[in-house]
Structure 1
């Protein structure tokens, strides 16, 4: 009996209708993927669009793909009458579901709007070195989609942050206006060392480094300002603390230069008798007799 009823339900007409719906649904999905691929090829081949900022270009590409996918999904669902009538009946009979869906999509919509603001105002762009203040997040912006921003760390890991979150964070951007960076090289010398000689050594080592950038203005050059400023910034327990302001073209070359200068300055100090102090500890026993008795 069960088998006969099953065969009655799936007669020739029913199977034909089912096959038609499956073909229409598949065709809509294939067309959606095809249009996404075509839109990306058109954008990649359009010279005017290529002149856009990479951040805007990437976001527009993702935005168009998202619209095509959205229309494609709605069209695919619309081809199935059962789903279409079910959705209509649910929305007509229950406003609670609409409220739930509204709250669920609120975050997604917030991410899209935040992504649009990021593409327009460009607080950071693809390729920028950024650091999220107060968080251990530091790396290069790799991608900005409709939902999230992807950061590639210097360990080659990817950090995915929703657009609505990163747009509310305080960001340190090393490339937003210009790439050049002032690097601080700090070193301490002993109180017995010649501080003027130490300052001259630091200045010479910095100036001869291939990554050093002379950032002086024309007026500063005419006024005789040195290419590298070195100052005594304070006094420690056993050291006179020196600080040099050394410019580089960008953050990456600045890091390499600082590492090289730490090595070359240390070697030069050793050769020319400038001491880099290390901490001393003096232990004083006030009651030496009591101390001797306690050890006997």
Structure 2
């Protein structure tokens, strides 16, 4: 049987009777036209209502509630309209003699059948409206649940950071009291531990202390009932202050920002929370970003499963309605499958990209934000789609666009998976007259300086490390000691080679993001020049030097700083190189 013959043999069930019903009565035609016009007017009014409610505070302070209200009102009014029209037709049209166009008089059996078909049509409209409403409500419920989970994660981050920077009156210690452990951690002397417990400064240091395995010590005892709810109340007050600053003009833009504006000028509370997460919980300054900044930043972000739910649910509703009306689904499915096979051959590469996309998502081969190298192109995965994948160059030079199937059919290097750091490496050569162990110790010192001294504009350490140096200053960790899943030992110094005119060394540490290594390498080279000058460590000129009796003099000059270099060797050692 060909596709054309199958299509002709599809049984349309009771759909065939609908045409007969509409052609049988002027009143019936008017009733259907009235329903269509009424629904159209309802949609127009609903769109205006949606824009109106989007400009009210409730859409910003209670976004999930406002979405629910907007979603529920449409089906409620649509059902009322359809039910009203159904009652009118039942009472004024079907209860009387039907005026037929072809002047054929229906008997009582035909009249009952007409009423049943009409009732079924109206019921179908109601089912579609209700199905549409449910398909929109489910994502709202899932988003609300996800928002609650994220809120709990925010609370955990707040606990870990011992409060956010924008907290008022030391909120954390109003809600929690630190209880020290019974004995000192393994990497701390017991006497020192007990001594620190006797002073407030010492207890503050212990409260922020983390072990070599990045674990805090002690516990926190809540001082109030339901501290999570108190924290939520505090965060909501912060948002209300942010909203008031936006609307009053008392913000960085100096203008009164508008609710419901396009592009968006004010963040709803859920987006406000997300902006805080993206900035590692710094305060969101009112009016600090241009309108539409948040939407632009999320442009190209992967869609969540909630976006597919309305389509899937409505497809199921439509299939159910078609089956209810008596259409042969088997034959219809056969025809659709036949078309699908033909389209599949025509869209072979498209289908390959689609299945590659599904495999990538399932196995998490790559995810948005990973730094990868594909066909020699090094960059961050910006967006994965069913057709192409966008990779932003690691130094923001360009945007690579690759077929998605390429990521499962060719060699991909993922620099981010299970390790989120990049080496910053500096090579340097010194004179043969210098002691290699002393040079190694000086480079160790430089590496340690780089770990503690090199920061970004936010004051965060660029070099990753097991324990954030701020913890030793009784300050919260900047995050340089987070997400380290390997045993990382640094700085690393290696005596690389006996070169023709120098002893060659390499020093490297690991930074948090690709691109940061250039800043760290520059800073370490400056430190090398500074420290080498301090200890009279000489870097040979990149030319051959012919000594004419000056070697002893140079050795004597270098020897003058030997005591300082020996002291530095004792203070900083030579890393993990087993030389005494």
**One fold, TM greater than 0.5?**
yes
TM-score, structure 2 as length reference: 0.32
Counterpart for residue 143 of structure 2 = 45
Q: Match of 1:167, SS?
A: helix
CA distance in structure 1 between the partners assigned to 2:430 and 2:492 by the alignment: 17
Aligned partner (choices 406, 409, 425) of residue 168 of structure 1: 409
Question: CA–CA distance in 1 between the matches of 2:542 and 2:530?
Answer: 20
Which is higher, the Rg of structure 1 or of structure 2?
2
Q: In the alignment, what sits opposite 2:530?
A: 267
Indicate the SS of the match to 2:347: helix
Alpha carbons of 1:46 and 1:269: their partners in 2 closer, same or farther (altered >3 Å)?
Answer: same
Partner in structure 1 of residue 378 of structure 2: 138
Gaps of 5+ in 1: 1-22, 28-33, 72-90, 217-225, 283-296
Question: Of the candidates 158, 161, 169, which is equivalent to residue 399 of structure 2?
Answer: 158
Counterpart of 1:257 in structure 2 is 520
Give the structure with the higher percent strand. 1
Is 1:114 the equivalent of 2:361?
no
Q: Describe the shift of the 1:254–1:102 C-alpha distance in structure 2 as closer, same or farther (beyond 3 A).
A: same
2:500 paired residue number: 237
Please, which runs of 5 or more residues in structure 2 have no aligned partner?
1-35, 41-131, 151-297, 316-334, 453-460, 468-488, 546-580
Return the alpha-carbon distance in structure 1 between the equivalents of residues 536 and 396 of structure 2.
39
* 1:35-74 equivalent positions in 2, closer than 5 A: 42=140, 45-48=143-146, 58=302, 60-61=304-305, 64=308
Find the partner of 2:427 among 166, 171, 186.
186
Q: TM-score, normalised by structure 1?
A: 0.57
In structure 2, distance between residues paired with 1:256 and 1:44: 43
Cα offset for 1:144?
1.0
State the aligned residue count. Answer: 220
Query: In structure 2, how many angstroms separate the alpha carbons of the residues matched to 1:106 and 1:167?
Result: 16
Cα 1:48–1:41 change in 2 (3 A) is closer
1:184-240: CA deviation from partner (whole Å, max 9, x where unpaired): 332222223333332122111110222444459xxxxxxxxx853322111222221
Work out whether residues 234 and 241 of structure 1, in 8 Å CA contact, stay in contact via their aligned partners in 2: yes
- After superposition, the C-alpha distances for 1:73-107 in whole angstroms (9 at most, x for unaligned) are xxxxxxxxxxxxxxxxxx9xxx9x99985443110
Kept in 1, the 8 Å contact 2:424–2:511? The answer is yes
Partner residue, 1:9 = none
In structure 2, the CA distance between the partners of 1:50 and 1:109, relative to structure 1 (3 Å rule), is farther
Instruction: Confirm or deny: 8 A CA contact 2:425 2:509 kept in the other structure.
Output: yes
Contact 2:139 2:306 in 1 (8 A): no
Offset at residue 125 of structure 1 (A): 1.2
CA distance in 2, matches of 1:42, 1:172: 38
How far apart, CA to CA, are the structure 2 residues paired with 1:44 and 1:142? 25
Shift of the alpha carbon at 1:64? 3.1
Indicate conservation of the 8 Å contact 1:39/1:64, yes or no: no
What residue number does 1:147 align with? 387
